[in-house]
Each structure stands twice: as structure tokens, then as C-alpha cells.
A and B are shown apart, each in its own frame.
Chain A
Amino acid sequence: MRDVAVVASMQRQEPSIDNESEVEYMVPLMHGVKESIGITQADVGFTCSGSSDFIAGQAFSFVMTVDGTNPVPPISESHVEMDGAWALYEAWVKMQMGEIDIALVYGYSKSSGGSLRDVLATQMDPYYVAPLWPDAFAIEALAARQLIESGRVSLEQLAEIASRSRDHAASNPHAIRTAQKSVADIMAEAPIMDPLRPSDIPASADGGCVLILAAGDRAKDLCDRPAWIRGIDHRTDAHTLGVRDLTRSMSAKIAGQKAGVGNDKVDFAELYAPFTTSEFLLTDALGLGEDTVINPSGGTLGAHTMMASGLIRIAEAAQRITNGDGDRAVATAGSGPNLQQNLVCVLEGE
């Protein structure tokens, strides 16, 4: 595997960005991150992005945003209709061939324009499930119910996850749900989709993230302590409700094994866990123990920007490695109902 590292990133997340279009708020991040390490688009060998037309409410929505990359003269570029973490994966694959040293990756969405609970319901099987219009929280609550009934996790444990995420989010300037709340207070919350309480669900945000990958010596030139990608893999579970065991994440488990999560101690993990239950599934599947700090940024319970949240997990983990807060981190990205798809990335400082 060729050595490729995250060398810089920028993000923005807010409850709703009302006075700027997607491209208007992404350009300062795209331009800014390049400027921060002294490169221009001409130094970038490959550009890749992730976004969703259904969230934007517009076909070919990514065409508007590509102007922000400065594609004059033309650039080598691609787009996935997935979280930006998969755009990072595509770029990482490209870099493995040894022809490209620097890649720019971004993901973004402005989900405040439409009801995300309804929008995400259109991901369900179009013949058997989607016509019933189950909203996205209802699907998640079904899984949460199964998980609690299985006896493997309690409502108290989920409240602890929510409370700790709020504590961590309080020190993250990009988080939007930062008010601290005790386990007891969360236990007292009225469920919004029983058994899910307001603190169990993601803090939906508008925003995006831009990140730069660099290979080998180029990475060392651009960053004092690059966050090296030592393993990266992604997998999908079955979609059909009732086929999958919703109390376990097979896809995260396989991806974690392939990425080598268990090969050494994990100092901290940034997990794409929109719901408290998702965090439980992921820590379980990845075998993360007491010695791993989970979601030091506050995770997606602190701020959740669809199509960017997975990429932001990688950016957050990389930034902490670069800062010297730890030597080895895991970041994940997810997609689909009940975290049907998972990507796992292992980052190291040396």
C-alpha cells in the first residue's frame, strides 16, 4: 500500500445556512484549505466529491458546486452520490497507482431545505417499503427497539452515550448541539419516536468539509505530522428489513477487520453514528474497548451534515493525530437506513 495521508481539512456546520448557496459556502473552504498549505488547484492531481440530489432537491446539483474547485483549466475529477468519505476512498484508490500525489476531496449538503426524515424514506425498497412512507426515524426506532429488547444495551447506556457526546461537543466549535445534559435529564426526555429520545437522534446541520490527501514525501512537505491512512475498507449489509440482524453491524465488522482496526491500540475513534444506538453497534462491531475515547468531537450527535459527516469524522480524527493528541485513530462513515453501509479508516501519526 502506498503511503497516503490527510494533510489538511476545513469544515463548516451550522443548524441552517440560509443566506448562502451550497457553492457559496463551500468555496471559502475549498480555497481556504488549499491556501492553508500553500497549494493551488494546479497542484491537485485528482478532485472528488460526494453529495446528493435528493437532499438538494435538484437534479445534477453537484454541477453547480464544481465551479468552486477552479476547474479552469480542466481538472481530473469525479463525483459519488455518497458521503464525501467515499469520495476520499475513490481518491485514495487513484493515489495507490502512484501517478497522483495530491487529491482534494469534499462533501456537503444543505438538508434544512427539505424534511430529512421524508427525504431519507425514499431510500427504502421502492416496491414494498417506500410506498408505506415510513420516515427515517421510524425505521431507526424499529432497530433501536430490537436492540434494547435483545438486552445488549439499555436506555441508560444510550443516555450515557448521548450525555458524553454533548460533553465532547461543548468544546467543538463546529458542533451545534452543545448544551450539556446529565444522564438523568436525558432519561427524563419524552421520546419523539419511542424508544428514541431527542438526545438519541442526530443534530442535523447544513455544511460541508474539504480535505486534502497527499502521498509520501509530498505529505511530509505539506504537514509536520500527517495522519497516514494505514487501512481503509467499506462494506454493505443487506437492505431488506427482516433479512438483516439489526442488532449487529456485519458491514462495519468486515470493514474494520479489513482495515486492521484490531491490529493495535486505538487511542480514539470518530464514529459516524447518527443515533446513540448506531454508536453502540459500531463500537461493538469494531471491538473498541474502554481505552478508546469515542467521538472526541461530539460526533454526529453534536452536528450531522449529511454527505459530509463521514468525511468530517476522518477530518476530525486526522486533525487530532496531526495535533499530537494521539497516535492511532479510527474513523467511520455510514450510509443508508440502519447504517446499511459502513466505511472504516485507520489513521496513524507515524
Chain B
Amino acid sequence: MSKQRAAVIGVGQTKYASTRGDVSMAGLVREAAYRALEMAGKGWSDIDAVVIGKAPDFFEGIMMPEIYLAEALGCVGKPILRVHTAGSVGGSTAVVATSLVQAGIHGTVLTLGFEKQSESNAMWALSLPSPFTTSINAGAGGYFSPIIRRYMEYSGAPELIGCMVALKDRQHALNNPYAHVRDKELTFDKVVESPMLWDPIRYSETCPSSDGACAMVLSDEAGAEAHDGPVAWIHGTAMRSEANNYGGRNVVSPKASEDCAADVFAQAGITNPRAEIDAVEMYVPFSWYEPMWLESLGFAEKGEGWRMVESGATNIDGGDLPVNCSGGVLSSNPIGASGMIRFAEAALQVMGEAGDHQVEGAKKAFGHAYGGGAQYYAMWVVADSKP
């Protein structure tokens, strides 16, 4: 048996916000699922299986919440699979869902990522005290800032490149009504003047905490052909993991990131990513990760990613490689869904359904997620035509 074709035929998102107090967890996931189903022209009975992802259960204080969500996700009597691969989980979940279609197991699969961080205290969830180590690490920014410092010194990038990325993604978010952070008043000076949290990372260069869910309906080839609406064909998917601390590890461009990109581009027949990809949705929770990933993924030469940022190449307005037209993780961050949003936004671009943040004529798009100590990766390439 060989790999079957698979496609996205529906995408649904919730409005992202720091607190979605108007809905329960079940209400939140159903809101995204219904939007995806309606776009796909499907009902619950058309769905063969559900693949759901989210970050640590401690975020909501519920062990394996998909067990309680079985009815809300319409999967009584059906298979439900729960993925958890740290921050990359939203992307990994979409990859696992894709494999169910590609392997010929199911014809129509609903995949969904969510996080309702307001239901619990995320800072508490992430810093359950260990009696064996001393904690001086203030959240993810505390972990990633030393890596960013290494990149800054290695590349010799101007100090304010991160601020440029932060402003660009927030300006992109103004064109995305689903985005959490939409600040029309934000200026470059305000970003630069925002307080340093983990020097060299400023407040405005940091992602928010959001409630939200993102869903996609995936279909086999026959279903996608019969579908009366836009379709994003999946041209490649890949996942890679590596250890986060060993002597000789490249933390600026981890090998797992490079291997994963090489794999997914090879599957999609892409030899020159910068020329062949029309829109990129990459996981950038701290602004400096945009130039770092541009290099690691092969969109820029090593040490030169910041030049793309500086030249405006990644801006939807005039850039040749628009990155995070949705506003990215810097503008919306329901952790368990953040990776899936990248994958879904890439799909929307090639479906021509990205609304005010549509890249004109986008034919191939790239979705990316990472997690853990920059050690878990999930990626996909989607296009407007069959592979």
C-alpha cells in the first residue's frame, strides 16, 4: 500500500482572546469545529475520526480532557486520538490526522487543537515546584532568551531586528479579525520602549496567552474532488525530535529543524523554498525566532535571515516571502492550537480564503510548529493543486 492523497477542505477558528468566558471548553471546541464543518459542507455524521491536540493537561486542570469532550466532538462510537508533543502539538496533531487519510484508514477526519488557559493558571502549571532543582527560570522567555542572545552575537544582526518582527506581526494581525492582540496604536518606538522582560527579549516581542481553538476537516482524494469549495492539497508532512541538552548541540539552528525542513521540502519537490513558497506561517513566540527559522528552514543563508526582515521581505505589504500574515503566535497563542493555526492559515492562503491577509495568488504555503527546548518539530506544505 502506498501513500494516498489528502487535502484540507474546511478550516475553523475561534476568536482568540485572553479569556473566552462566554463558552465552556466544550463550547470553545465546538465553535471551531462547526466553522470547519460548515466550510467543508460536512456534518458530524460525515466524520470518521477525531484527532485532537493540546499542550499540558495542567493548563486546564483536567486529565485527558478529550475524554470529557467525547460528546462535544461528536465522536461517540468513533475513534479519538490525543496527541501531545509540547509546543509543536498543534502541528503534530494535523500531521497525525493527515496520516490517517494518507494511510487509507479514514476518508474524512476532523482535527482540532485547543487551549483554554484562562481555566487555570498557566504560570502555575508550568512551574510545578520540583524539590530537586532550583528554579530561577521565568517561563519560556527565560529559556529562549539565552539562545536568542547566541543568535544575535553569531549573526551580528542589528539590535532592533526583533522589534521589526514584532511590529510587522502585530500589523499583520490588524488584517485578521480572529487575532487576539490587535493594537492599532502600536508603533516601532513603542515596541522598542516596551520593558525588557528577559533581556534581550522585550514585552512587545513576546507572545500573549490566549484561549482558543482551531479545527480542520481533512479529506481523501475522492472527497476533495467532490467538494464544492476551496481545497488545500497536502504535499508533504514531517516531524522530528531531538535531545535538548548535549555537548555540541546547535541551538541556533537545531539539526531536528533542518532535517524536518529537508524532509518536508523533498516530499513536496521543493528545491528553492524562498522562490517556490508563496506564504509562510511559522511558529514565532519570540520575535527573534523569525530570522532564526528563516535560516534554519532554508529560506535564507546562514547568518543572513535578519537581512530579510530588515529589507521587508517577510512583510505581506511588498515582501516576496510574506511570513505570518495572520499575525502569528505573537498575536494569538492558545498554546495547544498555536501550531495548528499555522498549518490552517497556510491552508487558507492556498485556498484563497485568508480574507484581508490573503497573499495574492498564493499557490504553495508552508506551516511550521516547534516545541520543548526547540527540540520538537512539525511541518507541512500545502498547495492549490494536487501533488
Contacts and interface: CB of A to CB of B under 8 A. Distances in A.
Asked if chains A and B are in direct contact (CB within 8 A), the reply is yes
B108 to A, nearest CB: 16
A97 B62 contact: no
Nearest to A73: B255
B25 A234 contact: no
A15 to B, nearest CB: 22
A54 B67 contact: no
Contacts of B375: 63, 66, 71
B103 interface: yes
B82 A53 contact: no
A67 B63 CA distance: 24
Contact of B240 (A1, A75, A130, A335): A75
A20 to B, nearest CB: 14
A96 B1 contact: yes
A52 B63 contact: yes
Nearest to B263: A76
A261 to B, nearest CB: 16
Nearest to B58: A59
A37 interface: no
A89 B81 contact: yes
Given A59-B126, A122-B61, A239 B56 contact: no
Interface string B38-62: 0000000000000000001110111
A152 B235 CA distance: 53
A78 interface: yes
Nearest to A253: B77
Contacts, number: 173
Interface string A65-88: 011000111111111111000100
B241 A66 contact: yes
Contact of B1 (A53, A60, A71, A98): A98
A292 interface: no
Given A59-B125, A341-B67, A54 B58 contact: yes
B214 to A, nearest CB: 18
A240 B25 CA distance: 15
B68 A239 contact: yes
Contact of A60 (B56, B100, B105, B255): B56
B241 A77 contact: yes
Contacts of A234: 79, 81
B342 to A, nearest CB: 17
Contacts of A93: 96, 99-100, 103, 105
A2 interface: yes
Given A53-B84, A81-B83, A126-B60, 16 more contacts: A52-B57, A54-B58, A54-B63, A59-B126, A66-B241, A66-B375, A71-B256, A77-B376, A90-B99, A93-B105, A96-B105, A98-B3, A119-B63, A123-B63, A126-B25, A336-B64
11 contacts: A63-B373, A66-B375, A71-B256, A74-B256, A76-B239, A77-B240, A96-B104, A122-B62, A124-B68, A126-B25, A236-B70
